[in-house]
Chain A
């Protein structure tokens, strides 16, 4: 039966009991109560619940909730930091968003393609490099240090170096300039004649300048998905913290 109770009528009766109706509406409710026994029952139910609740004993506070000076000082210090944190949260989110856009979507801001790898320039086919790096049409194998042996990797493990060591300048030629080429040594060098390996391990036939400039240039052209992911997570975290701060502010207004 309760589920069939008309909510509007229930609200009307509730307001009637709280004396919030205008005289006209109040008279209407009085007339309804005089004629409708169902309405009378409903009204009686609401009235008795209201009455019982108003008769509920009031619980006094068991102790004082006043703030101790030390606690007040701590809270006050936090209070001063809150607006600062909120502003910094907003600022850092905006900054992170701007950096993200600049770093990963440069074309959105500047339509012309700007990222040109210096590595690509160095290896451009216009330079006479291909001829310089071949001997009789065969690609040169450049060996750094001692060939693979004794646990240095690279497979094989041959004791005698089968490949004649030829020294070439590894500097990339300036555009249009002839490649300097050292005269090949005729003799085959013994293992002991090789200088000791220092720095990087053996790289065969690969020319790669690892200068900071080249690294930067490659980074500009390659899509760094890991970096994007980290940045998105960072952005998400900042946005969340800002939203939490704004919600918190709304809650205490």
Chain B
């Protein structure tokens, strides 16, 4: 069954049809939520909320890319969560001193007995998660969708309900800022690239 038929069936109240759509996009949705929030449990909650909202507002979907629409739900849920967090800040478990994080990322080190490559991947993952949190939520959404999820500019614009020009400028600025933050991890690049090459 194609996507349009599934959406039509879900609109008629068929939860199985909607669940098939959920299964198709849940990884991408969760990944976006995780990159936006930097926390697994919150990302899980936001993804679930987003799918609830999607099902509830299915009649508002006016065609186009369902993927972009679902990702917008996730992004909205994450922005709401970030606003809530701003109102009621939580104390992080990790140290959050800017100079310490970039200059000596001791807290990023994986102390477990893992192979070098896995550790490098893990460190990169942590570094990216951390650096993404230094961006504004708007810039974060754009860069996650464009570079992590590898969506096209038009898809990003549709997912965020934002003009294309704004997407371009936000992306360019966010990339520059991310580069500044990730400078301490650039030495990981060759290892990761090698791993990626072997994986393909």
A-side residues, CB < 8 A to B, are 2, 5, 7, 10-11, 13-15, 18, 20, 45-46, 48-67, 69, 71-72, 75-76, 78-79, 82-83, 249, 251-253
Contact = CB atoms under 8 A, between A and B. Distances in A.
Contacts of A78: 56
B174 to A, nearest CB: 9
Contacts of A79: 55-59
A249 B60 CA distance: 7
B27 A61 contact: yes
A48 B128 CA distance: 13
A45 B179 contact: yes
B55 A67 contact: yes
A18 B175 contact: no
Contact of B178 (A53, A64, A65, A67): A53
Interface of B: 13, 15, 18-19, 22-23, 26-27, 29-31, 34-35, 40, 44, 47-48, 51-53, 55-62, 73, 76, 121, 124-125, 128, 143, 146-148, 150, 153, 168-169, 171-173, 175-176, 178-180, 182, 185-186, 188-189, 192-193, 196
Given A65-B51, A66-B23, A252-B53, A48 B147 contact: no
Report the 7 A-B pairs with minimum CB-CB distance, sorted nearest first: A49-B179, A72-B15, A252-B57, A53-B147, A14-B172, A66-B19, A61-B30
B145 to A, nearest CB: 11
B52 A54 contact: no
Nearest to A82: B56
B18, B35, B47, B147 pick with most chain A CB within 10 angstroms: B147
B59 to A, nearest CB: 7
Contacts of A2: 176, 180
Given A10-B176, A46-B175, A66-B22, A75 B189 contact: no
A5 B173 CA distance: 10
Given A14-B172, A67-B18, A55 B192 contact: yes
Contacts of B73: 252
- Interface residues of A, dominant DSSP: helix
A60 B30 contact: yes
B194 to A, nearest CB: 11
A50 B34 contact: no
15 contacts: A7-B173, A13-B172, A45-B176, A56-B125, A56-B128, A56-B148, A57-B125, A61-B27, A62-B30, A65-B22, A67-B55, A75-B56, A78-B56, A252-B53, A252-B61
B165 to A, nearest CB: 9
Given A2-B176, A52-B124, A56-B148, A72 B18 contact: yes
B147 A72 contact: no
Given A59-B30, A79-B57, A52 B128 contact: yes
Contacts of B13: 72, 76
A67 B52 CA distance: 8
Contacts of B147: 50, 53-54
